[in-house]
Amino acid sequence: MRRSIALSCLLFLAASFGHLSAAYAHVTLRPAEAPPGATTTYTVRVPSEGDSATTSVELEIPAGVTVLSVEGPNDKYEIKKSGDRITSILWKTSIPAGERGELTFVAQNPAAGADIAWKAHQVYADGTRADWVEPKGGKRPGPITVLKAAQ
């Protein structure tokens, strides 16, 4: 009986810990706040959780955001366009399991409007993927940039 209770407690703690790490280990963008209309250098932070390396990251570019350049000398990337506008950046990269990578681009923020809601898609070497596209508070929230005038 004691073994059953101890095993149940261990399983509960493992499940709880796994849930907490998944909640905090998601694709983020920095800075978290940027002025409307400003040209901003963004850093996409990508954790490679689990036992598999990250092999690619695609970032959808929201309407109103204009990508000016994509940086990263060690990473290969592709851009998708609609007319002259860049609609997504696909970085082909290798971020080992348990480590974090950073990918950079420069964009001009919308002059006005709501905060910028980004969507990111992460693919692992084992073929699985994580889509960071849900609103704040969701299981897989997409990154948000708060548009805030400089003071």
What is the pLDDT at residue 58?
A: 97
Q: For residue 57, is it within any domain?
A: yes
- Using DSSP, state whether 148 is helix, strand or coil: coil
CATH number, residue 60: 2.60.40.2230
Would you say residue 106 has pLDDT above 60?
yes
What is the pLDDT at residue 75?
A: 64
What is the pLDDT at residue 13?
A: 33
**Does the global pTM surpass 0.75?**
yes
- Domain hosting 141: range is 26-147
Smallest Cα–Cα separation from 34: which of 107, 97, 88, 92? 107
What is the pLDDT at residue 74?
A: 60
How far is residue 117's CA from residue 13's CA, in Å, rounded to a whole number?
Answer: 33
The arrangement of strands across the sheet holding 76-82 comes to: 76-82, 85-95, 54-60, 119-124, 129-132
- pLDDT (average), residues 30-57: 95
Would you say residue 4 has pLDDT above 90?
no
Report the domain count for the chain.
1
Would you say residue 85 has pLDDT above 80?
yes
